[in-house]
Amino acid sequence: MTSLFEPYRLGNITLANRIVMAPLTRNRAGAGNVPTDLIAEYYRQRAGAGLIVAEATQVCPEGQGYQSTPGIHSAEQVAGWKKVTDAVHKAGGRIFLQLWHVGRISHVSLQPGGQPPVAPSAIRANAKTFVDGAFIDVSAPRALELNELPGIVAAYRKGAANAIAAGFDGVEIHGANGYLLDQFLRDGVNKRTDAYGGSIENRARLMLDVAAAVVQEIGAGRTGIRLSPVTPAGDASDSNPQPVFEYVVEQLDRLGLVYIHAIEGATGGARDFAPFDYAALRKRFRNTWIANNGYTLEMAEAALAGKQADLIAFGRPFIANPDLVERLRRKAPLAGLARETLYGGGAEGYTDYPVLEAAE
């Protein structure tokens, strides 16, 4: 029986175990959205994960949707992330960076020149963003022009190159949770009538263009992607997601991506939020499959034993349990997180959670 604590070969790297730390937005980047020494310490503490997927990181200034989220488009940001990757690697860990463009889930105060956020179509989301320490309604977006889409692809390509320059072992394209690439995919959000709207093939085009560009830039063995077929996050919806995601996964398989990271159900919520056949996606993809959402140790071991997944991602448990892998190994109780310090702030509720021995 496959154990969660066995090593695993992912592309050209070996992971110490099959536990993935999922990307978690914590809103603690410094001036210029540069990762700080505090962020480096946060990830160093969690380097026991087989793989860390660092928090969602905007590939361009227009891609930002929340205050104090890091970027990967300036030299200062690359240098800040280099401190993070050095700290994780020194602690024996492996780390990918999640590449992000929020699309319409943003606010004019975060956009260059106070411009509206961009989206596949000019439809305002019924969603909140985090600005000046508070959750507020997102702004109304404008529809991207056809001639702007190559620039979006180029931003992801450059973000991937910058991530490798910053020392990351690879990148995860954020294609989930109602952000830009997911917005293009879903017919509830994408009402375009050009080559990027209408049919499944057209709606998937931008996501697949981005994946192909990143693979061309840094190699398929260092490129993963995150998908969330039925989540309502970001006010995203699709009338019939099963064929959409089956098509997408088939195309990603052709590109040879090293992994797909699938959120089952509603992100951070009910696993049975809507009916969906995840096994049908799994069958269409030859490489590593990462399962995510509300997994316990027992569920994770069962998923590995049943070959429903190769790796299991844990999100919020990693916040209050920097030594989550060791706690799971020992079947020790997990600490609870302080919700009031999830977003923004400093070390409190970020790097001050004790490890097992200190807690005892």
Could you read off the pLDDT of 56-78 as tens digits, one per residue? 999 999 999 999 999 999 999 99
The whole-angstrom separation of Cα 74 and Cα 215 is 21
2 within domain boundaries: no
Domain count, the chain: 1
155 is in which domain, residue-wise? 8-359
Residue among 152, 122, 165 nearest 58 (CA): 152
**Average pLDDT, rounded, for the chain:** 97
Position 274 scores a pLDDT of 87
Check if 179 is active-site: yes
pTM: 0.97
Of 271 and 324, more confident: 324
Of 270 and 310, more confident: 310
Indicate whether 106 pLDDT > 70: yes
The one catalytic residue in 43, 179, 343, 353 is 179
Determine the 3-state secondary structure of 9 from DSSP: strand
301 within domain boundaries: yes
DSSP letters of 210-268? Answer: HHHHHHHHH-GGGEEEEE-TT--GGG---S-HHHHHHHHHHHHHHHT-SEEEEE-SSTT
Q: What is the CATH number of the domain that holds 209?
A: 3.20.20.70
1 within domain boundaries: no
Indicate whether 340 pLDDT > 80: yes
Under 8 Å between Cβ of 279 and 262:
no
| Average pLDDT over every residue of 91-104 | 98
3 within domain boundaries: no
The whole-angstrom separation of Cα 199 and Cα 240 is 12
248 within domain boundaries: yes
The whole-angstrom separation of Cα 235 and Cα 220 is 31
